[in-house]
Structure formats: structure tokens, C-alpha cells
Amino acid sequence: MTPSAEQQPNSVKQIVIVGGGFAGLNCARKLATNPNVRITLLDKNNYQQFQPLLYQVATALLAPGNIAFNLREAVRRDPNVDIRLTEAVSVDLKSRTVQTAEGERYQGDFLVLAAGSQANFFGTPGAEQNTFPLYSLRDAERLRSRLLAMLESAHRDKGLIEKGALNFVIVGAGPTGTEMSGALAEGVQAWKNKKRGAKIYKDLPLERAQIFLVDAGHAVLSAFSPSAQAYAAKQLAARDVQIRLGTRVQEAGSGHVTLSDGTRIPTHTVVWAGGLKASSLSENLGIKTGQGGRIDVQPDLTVPGFSRVYGLGDFANIADQDGRPLPQLGSVAEQTGKWCAKNILLDISGKPRVSFRYLDKGIMAMIGRNAAVAEVGKRRHELEGPVAFAAWLGVHAALLASTRAKIEAFMDWAWAYFGGALEDVVLDRPEELQINWNDEGEEKSG
């Protein structure tokens, strides 16, 4: 199928969007308010995933359905938005044509590239094969199964603890790594502190569990203020997270990691939150990409030389009004999506496009129960502790797509708050029990 502008009445413009995340979906929904445009939104998943809460799926605080939202449902009331479940594999920017994995082509009067990002392993030997990235719903569900598989295995055979069954290494001390470490540490503490009869794993020596947070930089949460960094490090240490700063993962094996200081940690669970780059579509655009494999865009969000092609969100290098590069954040993606729609509509009506202006609402990160940090607004008003914790819950619930998801998330958070986290989880991927306990691919013992 080749939808094209030519098939539409002259006044109707065809817009093709690749990626239904924060950027693409917001763009589609804003464009849809204009009856003279027809939007085709291509995504390889039929859902939008809410990445900020992936770590809560991985630690079984939330169910996958709480953080993934059907794209068709999201545009149910927008008759001029058509969702296509397909993977874009290449793009001809000149003709604004997208080629899909199935060999179909989608051509538009305008093309919006919002395909997001993926893990960047920075060439670390073994990282791609042996670590657990945390960038998609699939990643989070796989990691959750691996965590459970480790507990089950160590419970069955205590000798596997020596082989690292209860060692968990998190690479990257940004918000994702920090939140993951805190949630995992609280889960372990909750299990340890239960009265004997109420324990899920009754004779598992959880005091032997170790959580390492490793980062090549010199601070936890480096994007935050020094006081927030110190607070986060203290809160993690209080939860028995061992923080290794100024240290990089040199190599990740099937049963260990080696750090740059020479330490070798036996482990079968290495969570990769160590960086990201543009999703692989960026390699097939026929143009030179910039920092992080992302496409460079102009202040009005168009790709240089292609006035009707836009790059948004994590897929693009976007600057603020002062020319400073913006980070890969949900709020940046959402705002660029809406701005792009505005510019396309201006273009259609023959008016000049306007430069993107970012409204900085601040940043926040959760460490654990009653412990979070937030820097609110452009002036970065700092909050920490229970106030930031409450703010984090409110903001994240508000961002969830449906009322049902908000209610369910609050119920799950309340349950976790009073000590019920990580308990009634089923191991629905038995293949995760197939672990090579002999390290480096010698022999399997299930």
C-alpha cells in the first residue's frame, strides 16, 4: 500500500509519522484537530510505552498493562489518524517516503521522524549479549523474569550464591539506574525483614544479596544539583546499594562483570542503564547523523535541506532557545511533538514556521519509599525526601494515559508502600531459568 498526497483531495494533506511515543503521538493528536490533514502513524508496537516507569515493571511494582497504552485507543476519537503496526526500515528524505519491513511504502506531504532511542553499549565487550538493557516493555518484562529466576535458583541450590545468583549489577547512575537500584534494594530489604513465617523464600539467605551501582562518572544523578546527588547517594547507601563511581564496566561475561579497577563480580544479572543512542532507523536515512546517532535538526525542528521532514524527541538533537542541546526527556519529546504539529499547520496555511521554545518544568528521580529528589521549573527549585516523593507520585500518575491506569498505579504504589511489593509475581518465562552457571559458555546446568 502506498498512501500518498496525490490520492487525497487537493486540500487534504497527508502526514506520515514514524514512532508513536511521547513525540509522535502528541504530534498526531494535535494535528488531528485539523480536518484538512490525514495522518498515518507507523509504529512497530501497537502500544505507547511509558519508559519512566519501566523499572517498576522490572521490579514488579507495576503490571505491564499499567505503563503501556494501546495506540488505537489513544486516537479513537480522531477519525483522521490511521495507525499501522509495522517497522520502518529506511527512509527517502527527498521524496518523504518510508519503506517498511514488509516492503510497503508510505509517502507524505510531510514526514515526521520520532522513532526514539535504544541502548548504547559504547562497544563494551559482551554487554550486548550478556546484559539486560532497560529501554522497552519487553526489556522490563525480561529483566523481571531474570530477577525471579535468580531468586528461585538460589533458593533451590544455595551453592549458586557463590556463583553470583544474588549479585545484581546496575550500570549507569543516571535516573534509570538510580531508580532501579533503589527499587531493587527496597524489594530485597522487604523480603529480608519479613517475619520468618511470612517470608516468600523461607530459607533464602537474602543478607547475602548484593546490589552494585556502577558509573564511570563521579556522581549519582549527575544532571541534578550537588545536594541532590549527595542525598541520593546517601539514600542508596542506606538501602545497602554499593556505589562504584569513577569506574566503568570493562567487560560483561555470561556469569560476571569486570570493572575498570580490576574487580570481577560474579553475576548473572547486569542491568544496562548506561546510555542511549537513536533507534536503528537513523542508520538508514541517507544522511550523516550527529551526537548519539541522532539526526540534527534546525530550530524549527526540520531536518536541514528537507523543509517538510521533521525530527523529534529522542530521535533528534534538539537545542533550546539559547542553542544548548536538550536532554532525552519525555517532556522534550512531548513538547517537540506538539510544536512540530503547530509548524506543519503553519506551513500548510502558508505562514512561516517558528523556532521551538522549550518550557523547562524540571527533573525528578525516585530513590525509594519517602525518598526522591526533584528540581522544579527552570529555576530548579529543589525538593527532596517525602515532599519530592509525593510530587513524583503525583506527576507520574498524572502522565499515565488512562484514568484506569492512574487508579491501578496508585493502588499498586499504596500496596508496595505498606510492604506488599514484589511478592505475588509469577515466573512466566521459564526459559529464564536456563542459566549457564559455569560462566563463559562451558556447559548448561538448569
Ligand X SMILES: Cc1cc2nc3c(=O)[nH]c(=O)nc-3n(C[C@H](O)[C@H](O)[C@H](O)COP(=O)(O)OP(=O)(O)OC[C@H]3O[C@@H](n4cnc5c(N)ncnc54)[C@H](O)[C@@H]3O)c2cc1C
Reduce the DSSP state of residue 423 to 3 states and report it.
coil
Among 255, 262, 261, residue whose Cα is nearest residue 161: 255
The residue sitting closest to ligand X, measured at its beta carbon, is 21
- Residue 19 as a binder of ligand X (CB under 6 A): the answer is yes
Which of 110, 315, 389, 413 forms a contact with ligand X (CB under 6 A)? 315
The whole-angstrom separation of Cα 220 and Cα 35 is 48
Residue 256-285 contact track with ligand X, rule CB under 6 A, x = bound: -----------------------x-x----
Which of 3, 24, 255, 311 forms a contact with ligand X (CB under 6 A)? 24
H-helix or E-strand containing 190?
Answer: helix 175-193
How many residues sit in the footprint of ligand X (CB under 6 A)?
Answer: 35
Residue 124-163 contact track with ligand X, rule CB under 6 A, x = bound: ----------xx----------------------------
Q: How far is the CB of 188 from ligand X (least distance, A)?
A: 20
Considering Cα of 391, then 394, then 398, then 401, what sign does the dihedral take? positive
In the bound state with ligand X, the residue whose beta carbon lies nearer, of 120 and 153, is 120
DSSP class of residue 319 equals: B
Report strand pairing: 371-376 vs 306-311.
Answer: unpaired
Q: How far is the CB of 74 from ligand X (least distance, A)?
A: 11
Piece of the chain touching ligand X by CB under 6 A; list 31-39, 51-59, 163-171, 249-257:
51-59
- Residue 215 as a binder of ligand X (CB under 6 A): the answer is no
- Residue 388 as a binder of ligand X (CB under 6 A): the answer is no
The whole-angstrom separation of Cα 167 and Cα 266 is 7
- Residue 247 as a binder of ligand X (CB under 6 A): the answer is no
- How many alpha carbons lie under 13 Å from residue 70 in its C-beta half-sphere? 3
| Phi, psi of 402, rounded to the nearest 5 degrees | -125, 160
- Residue 400 as a binder of ligand X (CB under 6 A): the answer is no
One-letter amino acid for residue 58 of the chain: A
In the bound state with ligand X, the residue whose beta carbon lies nearer, of 192 and 361, is 361
In the bound state with ligand X, the residue whose beta carbon lies nearer, of 318 and 435, is 318
The whole-angstrom separation of Cα 303 and Cα 151 is 49
DSSP class of residue 176 equals: H
First to last CA, the chain: 47
- Residue 331 as a binder of ligand X (CB under 6 A): the answer is yes
Sheet containing strand 269-272, strands side by side? 132-133, 269-272, 167-171, 210-215, 241-245
Which of 13, 28, 39, 51 forms a contact with ligand X (CB under 6 A)? 51
The whole-angstrom separation of Cα 97 and Cα 40 is 12
Among 8, 15, 3, 12, residue whose Cα is nearest residue 343: 15
- Residue 186 as a binder of ligand X (CB under 6 A): the answer is no
Piece of the chain touching ligand X by CB under 6 A; list 19-27, 239-247, 262-270, 367-375:
19-27
Binding interface with ligand X (CB under 6 A)? 18-24, 42-45, 48, 51-52, 54, 87-88, 114-117, 134-135, 175-176, 279, 281, 313-315, 328-331, 333
